[in-house]
Amino acid sequence: MDLYGRDLICTQDWSFSELVAALDLAARMKRDRFSARWASILQYKTFIMFFYNPSVRTRLSFEAAATELGGHAQFMTPSAGRFKTQQQAGETIEDAATVMARYAAGIGIRILEDKVPYYGAGDEMLLEYARWADVPLINMADDRFHPCQALADVMGWAEWYGEGPGRPDYEALRGKKFLLAWGSGALARSWCSVQAALLIASRFGMHVAMAHPEGYELDPEVIGWTQANCAAHGTGFDVVHDPDSGYEGAHVVYCRNWVTPAAYQDGVLQKQAEIEKAMAYQGWTTTAERMKRTDNAIFTHPMPVDRGSEVTDAVASGPRSAIYDIAENRLHVQKAVMALTMGNL
């Protein structure tokens, strides 16, 4: 499996066997974390991390990943340079990407919905960077996708349904019900993590169910890919518009707030208006009562968690919560992706 030089913008861009190759290496790296086998894969190499938006897990896990592979992750924000935008003159993506690629073995970018004038503009920017950078471009969360999160998610689910940490069983996920439930709250969150989760769950043969209030539909193209993934596995895709029924028989429950498709007006994300809209839907929360309707489901979330709105403390910190394992898996899957795409394996 030769993934050297490949970008990772969306998991749909990688074949199933390429995803499995990365996940298998991640599991080996997790089981044998500080082995000398991994310690010089990125020796003398730099990974540039370009963050338009803040992060805890992504920044820390990429930095730790580069360190554990013997390399270095360098942090940058737009304020460090003069980059061309719709509002101001500055350096083009062609120039910035070409120069960054002369310094680094790979480039990661995070740009979320509040930093772009319309939905999809962040993903378009990443594709433009990837066009000019002749080193791998890794999506560290844009306004459409969060592929590293998706890999960490599916690894965590497969560990819980497999033999535990570092011993995932992806076959065990086939036919299991994945519920993506919209969550209450005042965070007006991006679509990237939930869309990435739909794509990876359906890709690994899970039955996908969504529960959200009417008016909270996601990207029709992503829904179409999810449906096609489900059809390829002979599994189903259902949508309900109440906060209870989706839990019936679920094996993996994911509850997170997200904005409506009408979130942008006049080239600006209307965050306050989205928060006010969401206030009409109190109680779309994963509770212990709702979890009782499931088939002993695990609870999953990419974090940060909006406790009390998306999920109760009892569930988020309960015995079937996979959230910390999945946060840890960010490190292992990113080590694997960096090793395969940029490293001396």
Place of tokens 């988020």: 316
CB-nearer residue toward ligand CP: 74 or 227: 74
Site string for ligand CP, 84-123 (x = CB under 6 A): ----------------------------------------
Is 56 one of the binding residues for ligand CP (CB under 6 A)? yes
CB 77 within 8 A of CB 111: no
Shortest distance in whole angstroms from residue 139 CB to ligand CP: 11
> 55 or 227, CB closer to ligand CP?
55
Q: Which stretch binds ligand CP (CB under 6 A): 158-166, 216-224, 302-310, 313-321?
A: 302-310
Q: Output the smallest distance, CB 105 to ligand CP, in A.
A: 21
CB of 231 to ligand CP, least distance (A): 29
Token pair for residue 7? Answer: 């970008």
CA 300, 111, 126, 303: dihedral to nearest 10 degrees?
-10
Q: 176 with 207: CB under 8 angstroms?
A: yes
302: contact with ligand CP by CB under 6 A: yes
Contacts with ligand CP in 26-55 (CB under 6 A)? 55
3-class secondary structure, 142? coil
CB nearer to ligand CP: give 126 or 230: 126
Distance CA 181, CA 223 (A): 15
Binding marks (x or -) toward ligand CP, 142..181, rule CB under 6 A? Answer: -------x--------------------------------
| 122's tokens | 């962040």
* Separation CA 61–CA 330 (nearest Å): 6
Q: Centre a 10 Å sphere on the Cβ of residue 326 and count the other Cβ atoms it contains.
A: 25
Is position 305 an interface residue for ligand CP (rule: CB under 6 A)? no
SS3 content of the chain, % helix, strand, coil (to 5): 40, 15, 45
Q: Which of 6, 57, 212, 332 is close enough to bind ligand CP by CB under 6 A?
A: 57
Number of C-beta neighbours around residue 1 at 10 A: 12
User: Contact residues for ligand CP (CB under 6 A)?
Assistant: 55-58, 141, 149, 302-304
